[in-house]
Amino acid sequence: MEILKIEKLEKVYGTGENAVDALGGLDFSVDQGEFVAIIGQSGSGKSTLLNLIGGLDVPTNGKIVIRNRDISTLKKNELTIFRRRNIGFVFQNYSLMPMLTVYDNVALPVTFDSVKKIDHPYISSLLKDLGLWEKRKKYPGELSGGQQQRVAIARALANKPAIILADEPTGNLDTKTTLEVMGLLKESNKKFHQTIIMVTHNAAIAQTCDRLIRIEDGKIVERG
């Protein structure tokens, strides 16, 4: 089942002389449960693509359809709710809240949702699955990089989103921790039938995913 469809997606930053063509017309779709790697040089448009899919920025042209909803038709507050319910983000720099405990960081996306109740048993099971239960009362600053990224992954999963968008999630991690974090992403992909779209610099890691999309200068040049 198709969960994401991208058509003729274009993004231009700035105007006139300062205009930067970040994405020059991308077309692809992703099925539910697929683990897709996006690979390409720095500046090729990978983060732009993820930010557009996640509704953090708007395209200049083209269409993004997630679960049969064209996200450009959503009003700002509808998009916020849609994003919170359907998309989990994992960033290179973890982006955890320093003043919140591990547990509260993970529960945070659900806390923002006025309708959803926090599923404490689910959050607890996530923390246990990700080997973070013993750390639940610690603060991000008390954890290693790998542990912080595990917290970020748990947080991304907390809302049971249909799609996880991960922008170089292992970019700041050593080889051993990279393998560990990749293992966790693979596991949630299998266990929760989670769709994952992951940007990576690492070709070896990309090869282990279901599919590889290579971007150069804002265009798809390879579909593995």
Ligand X SMILES: Nc1ncnc2c1ncn2[C@@H]1O[C@H](COP(=O)(O)OP(=O)(O)O)[C@@H](O)[C@H]1O
Closest CA relative to residue 223, chosen from 39, 48, 99: 39
- Backbone φ and ψ for 129, nearest 5 degrees, come out as -60, -35
- Determine if 131 is a binding residue for ligand X (CB under 6 A): no
Residue nearest to Mg ion (CB): 47
Question: Looking at beta carbons only, is 39 or 96 nearer to ligand X?
Answer: 39
Quick note: the x/- pattern for ligand X over 45-84, rule CB under 6 A, is: xxxx------------------------------------
Residues at the site binding Mg ion, with contacts judged by CB under 5 A: 47
Listed ranges 37-45, 111-119, 187-195, 205-213: which one lies at the site for ligand X (CB under 6 A): 37-45
Residue 186 beta carbon to ligand X: minimum distance, rounded to whole angstroms: 23
Question: Looking at beta carbons only, is 14 or 16 nearer to ligand X?
Answer: 14
SS3 159: coil
- Determine if 43 is a binding residue for ligand X (CB under 6 A): yes
Quick note: the x/- pattern for ligand X over 5-24, rule CB under 6 A, is: --------xx-----x-x--
Residue 177 beta carbon to ligand X: minimum distance, rounded to whole angstroms: 22
Question: Looking at beta carbons only, is 147 or 170 nearer to ligand X?
Answer: 170
Structure tokens at 4: 């994401």
- Determine if 40 is a binding residue for ligand X (CB under 6 A): yes
- CA quadruple 7, 13, 15, 17: dihedral positive or negative? negative
Instruction: Give the full edge-to-edge strand order of the sheet including 195-200.
Output: 87-91, 163-167, 195-200, 35-39, 211-216, 219-223
83 binds, among ligand X, Mg ion, none (CB under 5 to 8 A by kind): none
Neighbour-count burial of 210, counting CB atoms closer than 10 A to its CB (0-12 exposed, 13-18 middle, 19+ buried): middle
HSE-up (13 A, CA, CB side) for residue 20:
9
> CA triplet 218, 221, 224: central angle to 5 degrees?
125
58 binds, among Mg ion, ligand X, none (CB under 5 to 8 A by kind): none
Q: How far apart are CA 14 and CA 60, in angstroms?
A: 11
Question: Looking at beta carbons only, is 45 or 109 nearer to ligand X?
Answer: 45
Question: Looking at beta carbons only, is 22 or 157 nearer to ligand X?
Answer: 22
Structure tokens at 74: 């959503």
Question: Looking at beta carbons only, is 47 or 195 nearer to Mg ion?
Answer: 47
C-alpha 128, offset from chain centre: 21
Contacting residues toward ligand X, per CB under 6 A: 13-14, 20, 22, 40, 42-48
